C-alpha cells in the first residue's frame, strides 16, 4: 500500500504464471482463451473512505517473441482447467493422474479387486456413477484407488445431476 508493486504475468500457450514483487503466486492452465486483450481494471468506489483515492500504473511493457517459460517453485499449486491432463511442471513436482479420462485403471471396487462390471461409466472424459434409484450400492457400489496413500494433496472436480427439490 502506498508503494509501487511489480507485477509479472507470463502467458505462453495455455499456461499463465504470475509473480508479485518477484514472488511466484499463481499458476493457471486454461485452454479456453488462447488470445485476448490485456486490461487494467480498477473496481468501483463503494465506501466514503475510498473516494478521491487514486491508482497509478507505470512501466507497462510487453514481450511477444523469443519467450521462454520461467521456472516456478514446487510449492505453487497449479489450477489446471484442462481435463485429465498434467503439465510437465505438475509431473516434475509429484502429481499423478488418478483418472486419464478414458479408463478407470487406477480404481477398483471397494468390495473387490476389480473395477465394478456395472454401475459406472467412463464417457466424455468423466467417470460417472449411474443411477441406482437412490439405493446405495444397488449398481456398482463405491470405488477406491488401487494404491494406498499415507500423505497427499488430492485435487478433483465433481458435479451432481439435478434432483428433486424438497418441499
What single string gives the DSSP state of each residue in 97-163?
Answer: -S--SS--TTEEESSSSS--SSSEEEETTEEEEPP-TT-TTSSS--EEESS--SS------------
Give which of 146, 103, 100 is closest to 122, Cα–Cα: 103
Per-residue model confidence as pLDDT tens digits over 9-43: 999 999 999 999 999 999 999 998 878 889 988 87
CB 82 within 8 A of CB 28: no
Task: Write down the pTM of the prediction.
Answer: 0.68
pLDDT class for 134, splitting at 50, 70, 90?
low
- Pick the residue with more confidence: 121 or 50? 121
- Dist. CA 18–CA 27, nearest whole Å: 7
For the chain, the C-alpha Rg in angstroms (whole number) is 23
CB atoms within 10 A of CB 12: 11
Q: Distance between the two ends of the chain, CA-based, in angstroms?
A: 50
Amino acid at each position: 500500500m502506498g508503494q509501487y508493486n511489480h507485477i509479472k504475468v507470463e502467458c505462453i500457450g495455455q499456461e499463465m504464471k504470475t509473480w508479485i514483487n518477484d514472488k511466484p503466486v499463481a499458476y493457471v492452465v486454461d485452454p479456453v482463451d488462447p488470445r485476448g486483450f490485456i486490461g487494467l481494471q480498477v473496481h468501483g468506489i463503494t465506501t466514503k473512505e475510498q473516494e478521491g483515492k487514486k491508482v497509478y500504473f507505470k512501466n507497462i511493457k510487453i514481450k511477444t517473441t523469443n519467450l521462454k517459460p520461467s521456472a516456478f517453485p514446487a510449492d505453487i499449486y497449479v489450477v489446471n482447467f484442462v481435463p485429465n491432463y498434467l503439465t510437465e511442471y505438475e509431473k516434475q513436482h509429484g502429481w499423478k493422474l488418478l483418472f486419464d479420462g478414458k479408463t478407470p485403471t487406477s480404481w477398483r471396487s471397494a468390495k473387490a479387486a476389480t473395477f465394478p462390471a456395472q454401475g459406472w461409466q467412463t464417457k466424455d472424459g468423466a467417470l460417472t456413477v449411474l443411477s441406482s434409484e437412490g439405493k446405495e450400492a444397488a449398481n456398482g457400489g463405491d470405488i477406491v484407488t488401487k494404491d494406498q496413500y499415507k500423505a497427499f494433496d488430492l485435487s478433483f472436480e465433481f458435479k451432481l445431476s439435478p434432483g428433486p427439490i424438497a418441499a
